[in-house]
Amino acid sequence: MRIRDISRMAWDQVKRRKVVTGLCMTGISIGCAAIIVALSVGQSAQVYVTNEVNRNFKMDEITVSPGGGLPSPGGKGAGGGSGSGVNSNLDPGKLTFQKLKIIQGLNHVVAAAPFEDNGYRQMITVDNKIADVQVIATDLRMLNKFDKSFKQGGASDIPGMVVLNYGATLGLIDIETRQNIYDRMNSDPFNQEVSSQYNNLMLIPSEMYRQQVQLQAQDYSASAPNGVGPTKLSSPLQVGGILANPPGTSDDRATYEKVMYVSLETAAQLQHELSFTDANGTVPSLEEGSYNSVTVKVDSVDNIKPLEALIQKLSLSANDNLYQQEQLKEQFDTIKMAALGIGVFILVIASISIIVAMTMSTHQRRRQIGIMKVLGANMGQIRNMFITEAALLGLLGGLLGVLFSYLIVMALNKLVGTAGEGLNFFIPLTTLPIGLSFAIMTGVLSGIYPAISASRTDALTAIKRD
């Protein structure tokens, strides 16, 4: 018999024995669906968590900070000193403007800019509304290259122009209302009505584009009388741009991240206007042309480590967040293996039903097997027919399992709904061949014993008994 004849006879048997076929297909489909869904849920969760981690920790960015190298000849240490300008710029212990230019010129660097944390300040609007914002000094023209898109306006080099992120436009309330709510929350911290009122106020947006604001700082140093000193106001600042809320970030989450981006020149001005004298009676100041931190945007995660090695040759410290990704990969690989084990266990149970069904089929079809042998069919052909039949059961069960997988994933997405914003379960195409392969392999392995048993049936004995 040819392969086509064996396949046709196997298919006829599968169609004829509908109940047995249905039971075997159901068992295999459940196991196949379990494998596909488990791997898909693991992959979907990994993509979601990776995106969240990337948004918070920026896997494609390197944080560069001053190293601890020795000063160059003529210098007075990492803080700089009396040497020539060139030697000062090349001081191994400093992150200078010249080194920043070198980093910007390296291959695979999309952008490099200082992001200096100037602490938290109170932002006051012209209509006496207030909010606490984090002030970050950077090159405002580089914001777009660091995945920060503008909702309104844009970056400007004009001194006194600032950029607010979306969160800084939420929750601006007048000083009296703010103080009143704080007093009520302090007096009764478990009052749900007050907490709800505060949360609702924090979500109210304000039109801040092209508005004038000022920053306020109060002296809490030890030198201040009673620990609380005078309050200082900055010069008026103009809001030249509003950043869009990053995709997948809710307003509730945005309220916890209020940032004002200012130029380095404006930061120096604010440092002078809002700083208080220390215990020695001096005002701390930033060293011109030197940075505490620079963020480097890289075109691919694969180029992070080589670039770090080059940056470290400048006697600078370079750090990334790739360890977060590696830890996540290890955790999700473990979850996927556990899920795969569950699916394989279900397929093993299903294989038992196939063995039983095929063995019963062999007993019931002894007369047919005997006639086939009398007509010239050899043991190999009979064995191949039963194995092909079992493989067809595995294939049909696998295809049914694929259908079940999509239905289960659709149900999971409806069940999750809006509970996990940004979380969407999907079935990667690479999981479908895995599920089908396990299903077909289960069918074939389960059909080996019945196939061997059938091929060993004595033709004359089978015909006489039946």
Instruction: Find tokens 């997988």 and name the residue.
Output: 405
Q: How far apart are CA 40 and CA 430, in angstroms?
A: 9
Q: How confident is the model at residue 27 (pLDDT cuts 50, 70, 90)?
A: confident
pTM over the 0.85 mark: no
Element (H, E) at 318: strand 316-319
Question: What b/e readout covers 393-424, taking b as 16+ CB neighbours within 10 angstroms?
Answer: bbbbbbbbbbebbeebbeebeeeeeeeeeebe
Q: For residue 246, with 0-12 CB atoms within 10 Å meaning exposed, 13-18 middle and 19 or more buried, which class applies? A: middle
For residue 208, pLDDT beyond 80:
yes
What pLDDT is stored for residue 175 in this prediction?
82
From CA 405, how far away is CA 411, in angstroms rounded? Answer: 10
Q: Which residue has the higher pLDDT, 130 or 248?
A: 130
| 159 C-beta neighbours (distance < 10 Å), count | 14
Q: Please state, in angstroms and rounded to a whole number, the distance separating the CA atoms of residues 190 and 193.
A: 9
- The helix (H) or strand (E) run that includes residue 134 is strand 129-137
**Residue 215: per-residue pLDDT:** 94
Cα(358)–Cα(453) distance, integer angstroms: 10
pLDDT at 80: 37
Mean pLDDT value of segment 122-127: 92
Q: Quickly tell me which residue has 């030697």 as its tokens.
A: 87
Q: Which residues pair with 316 in a beta bridge?
A: 66
pLDDT of residue 294: 92
10 vs 136: which has the higher pLDDT: 136
Most confident of 70-79, 316-325, 399-408: 399-408
Neighbours of 226 (CB within 10 A): 5
Cα separation, 459 vs 314, in Å, equals: 85
Q: What's the confidence (pLDDT) of residue 378?
A: 74
pLDDT of 369 above 90: no
Which of 207, 276, 263 has its CA nearest to residue 237? 263
Rounded Cα distance between 354 and 229, Å, is: 83
Using CA atoms, how far apart are residues 418 and 123, in angstroms rounded to an integer?
34
- SS3 for 454? helix
Flag whether pLDDT at 283 surpasses 60: no
284-337, pLDDT tens digit by residue? 445 567 888 899 999 988 899 999 999 988 889 888 887 777 777 777 778 778
Whether 248 and 55 have beta carbons less than 8 Å apart is answered as: yes
pLDDT tens for 144-162 read 999 899 999 999 888 899 9
Would you say residue 99 has pLDDT above 80? yes
| Distance between CA atoms of residues 17 and 389, nearest Å | 11
DSSP-assigned beta bridge partners for residue 120:
134
Please tell me the predicted confidence (pLDDT) of residue 214: 94
The CA distances from residue 312 to 27, 77, 99, 112, 386, in Å, are 58, 18, 11, 15, 66
Separation between Cα atoms, residue 17 and residue 14, nearest integer Å? 6
Residue 279 in this model has a pLDDT that exceeds 50: no
Closest CA to 262 of 360, 178, 158: 158
Most confident of 302-316, 333-347, 370-384: 302-316
Position 465 scores a pLDDT of: 57
253-274: average pLDDT: 91
Average per-residue pLDDT for the chain: 80
Handedness of CA 174, 179, 184, 186 (dihedral sign): positive
Question: Lowest-confidence range among 4-8, 20-24, 102-106, 386-390?
Answer: 4-8
Mean pLDDT on 230-240: 90
How confident is the model over 29-67, as pLDDT tens digits? 888 888 888 888 888 877 877 777 776 777 888 999 987
Summarize pLDDT for 172-206 with one digit per residue, the tens. 988 888 888 888 888 888 888 888 888 888 899 99
Number of helices followed by number of strands (H, E) in the chain: 14, 13
More confident residue, 462 or 50: 50
pLDDT in tens, 417-450: 644 556 788 899 988 998 899 888 888 887 787 7
Q: Which two tokens stand for residue 335?
A: 């979850």
Give the number of other CB atoms < 10 A from CB of residue 166: 20
Q: Decide the pairing of beta strands 212-218 and 231-233.
A: antiparallel
> What type of residue is 139?
D
Widest CA span in the chain: 115
Q: Is 181 helix (H, G, I), strand (E, B) or coil?
A: helix
Q: How many Cβ atoms sit within 10 Å of the Cβ of residue 450?
A: 24
Q: Given this model, what pLDDT does residue 92 score?
A: 63
CA distance 283 to 286: 10
Supply the angle between the helices 322-364 and 366-374 in degrees, to the nearest 10: 80
- pLDDT at residue number 194: 84
Task: Tell me what the mean pLDDT of segment 248-267 comes to.
Answer: 90
Would you say how long the chain is, in residues? Answer: 466
Residue type (1 letter), 40: S
CA dihedral 107, 110, 111, 117 (to 10 degrees): -110
Give pLDDT, residue 73: 41
What pLDDT band is residue 263 in, cutting at 50, 70 and 90? Answer: very high
